[in-house]
Structure 1
Amino acid sequence: MTAMMEHSTSIADLPAGPVEYRLEQRGEAVVVVFHGGHMRAGLTLDERVYDEADASVLAPSRPGYGRTPVTTGTTVPGFADVTADLCRHLGVERVTAAVGISAGGPTAVAFAARHPTLVERLILQSAVGPLPYPDRRSTRLLAGLMFSPGTEGATWGGMRALLRRAPDRGLRQMLSGLATLPADQVLAGLTPAQRTQLVWLFSRMRSGAGFRNDLRPREDLTGQVTQPALVIASRRDGAVSFAHAEALVAGIPRAELIESQADHHFYEFAADWPTISARMRAFLAADLKR
């Protein structure tokens, strides 16, 4: 699947409200992908691992992102239930895996916990766990200000302008919050093609009301997940600290931790991603014993 494209989406009118979603049908296996902050159903970096696994992808826009109003589901457990309703609406009777990326992690956890007869397994990649997010209170306050209804458009408008005028400078600014290493070092480790992909992605991100919704306190449902889980995390991820992965593995009884060697929040660009994606494909194909 080509990374640098925005996919077409549809709207499902459900009892809880409208939900924007993307459904790419391949094989019988279905993965439900909950993307992270500032992302929506049609916007993705790289989903080739699911293509290679011959898995269909159902990706909803979470509350406040894209064309899903923040009032549809609103809370993490509420939208997990809305997603189960979306599956019924689309005739999806079995979810091979719920996939939670970054700020989409809590929704994937809730989806698995609240709908164990529907969801077979859980994959969490750079995922927010049952800890405060962002980790520092000052960062949470700043994020709330930058992505408020009155400032969100200007924040992203300024970033798009910077990425057009000075792409490397814009990337350094973005990467400074996405890696624990110095931004210059992280940028130097990216290939020209990867830089182009990130400029494309950052230039199309929007937060809507979604990111402020992501900052709300949420219930810890990790102990209620009965399915096998794969937790993928990097110690150099500056957006979601490794402590979140440790908390997820501690809380989910059947969780396995895979440590990525990525220097930043985008694990698909790491040298060990082929190995990790192979582990993901094997996990999706495994014959589970409940």
Structure 2
Amino acid sequence: IDSVHVVAISAGGPSGISFASHYPERVNTLTLQSAVTKEWLTPKDTEYKMGKILFRPPLEKWMWKLISYLNNAFPRLMFQAMSPQFSTLSFQRIKSMMDEKDIEAFRKMNSRQRSGEGFLLDLSQTAAISSKELQAISCPVLIMQSVYDGFIDKSHAHYAKEHIPDAVLCLLHSWGHLIWLGKEAAETDRIILEFLES
């Protein structure tokens, strides 16, 4: 494959940024979806400390098995329990923005997840992003994030817009971090396709 359209999601942001920055001839476009674009969790943060414990191999394997089991047995309850970490909205508001198929998609997503050493790598890489890497990106860039994202602060989207030349920033009113779920997902898809086709 000579060149690709890169979509970097969430903590995959640093990988997408690094690839687009160092291999410009291989990247047609870069789309950052709810992406980390600067230092994220640090050793001082509770989430960082918990992640280092719960998602280190081999414990992460059993952690994901437990999440998968609970998710398959109680999909609506698990969505209710987990959704507050993805959104700044109340659960009642989140619920009004979702369809049954979205709950099923959330169940499927959690049932097939495994991070291996990936989450630990994510934690180490977010501290390594530099503004110079962002400034070196020369392909067309689309930055997408929900204004209600509860997982990655909106400052990441604004930071990317500030440092990537000619980047397009699209702030969405979808329910939260997972912008491909919910009643606004069709609009998200439309924007991405329009960007890629242009």
Structure 2 Cα separation of the partners of residues 183 and 151 of structure 1 = 30
Aligned residue runs from structure 1 range 121-132, under 5 A: 121-132=29-40
2:36 is paired with a residue whose SS is coil
Distance change >3 Å, CA 135–CA 120, structure 1 → 2:
farther
In structure 1, how many angstroms separate the alpha carbons of the residues matched to 2:101 and 2:169?
29
Q: TM-score, normalised by structure 1?
A: 0.62
- Counting aligned pairs with the same residue, the percent is 26
Task: Indicate the structure with greater helix content.
Answer: 2
In structure 2, the partner of 1:86 is none
SS where residue 129 of structure 1 aligns?
coil
Question: How many Å separate the matches in 1 of 2:175 and 2:26?
Answer: 35
> In the TM superposition, what are the counterparts of 1:234-249 in structure 2 within 5 Å?
234-249=146-161
- 2: CA distance between counterparts of 1:185 and 1:281? 28
Q: Could you report, residue by residue, the CA deviation over 1:189-243 in whole angstroms, capped at 9, with x for unpaired residues?
A: 3211111111111111111111111100323221211222110011211121211
Give CA-to-partner distance per residue, 1:89-135, whole Å, 9 cap, x none: xxx2232x221111111111111111112212211111111132379
Structure with bigger RCO (C-alpha 8 Å, 6+ apart): 2
Relative to structure 1, the CA distance from residue 134 to residue 169 in structure 2 (aligned partners, 3 Å threshold; closer, same or farther) is: farther
Shift of residue 136, structure 1, vs aligned partner = 7.1
Structure 2 residue corresponding to 1:209, chosen from 109, 117, 123: 117
Offset, 1:188: 4.6
Q: Distance in 1 between matches of 2:71 and 2:137?
A: 41
**How many residues of Structure 1 are paired with residues of Structure 2 in the alignment?**
194
> Where does residue 62 of structure 2 map in the other structure?
154
Work out which of the residue numbers 92, 116, 128 in structure 2 matches 1:218.
128
In structure 2, the CA distance between the partners of 1:247 and 1:281, relative to structure 1 (3 Å rule), is same
User: In structure 1, what is the Cα distance between the partners aligned to 2:121 and 2:13?
Assistant: 14
Contact 2:21 2:136 (C-alpha < 8 Å) held by counterparts:
yes
- The residue that corresponds to 1:43 in the other structure is none
One-letter identity of the residue aligned with 1:198: F
- Alignment TM-score, normalising by the size of structure 2: 0.88
Amino acid at match of 1:94: S
Aligned in 2, Cα 1:276/1:184: closer, same or farther, shift over 3 Å? closer
The list of structure 1 runs, each at least 4 consecutive aligned residues, that deviate by more than 4 angstroms after superposition, is none
- In structure 1, the gaps of 5 or more residues are 1-91
Deviations for 1:241-289, whole angstroms, at most 9, x for unmatched residues? 2111111111111111001111122212243433332232222222xxx
Distance 1:163 1:285, change over 3 A: closer
Q: Is the 8 A contact 1:180 1:238 kept in 2?
A: yes
CA RMSD across the alignment: 2.1
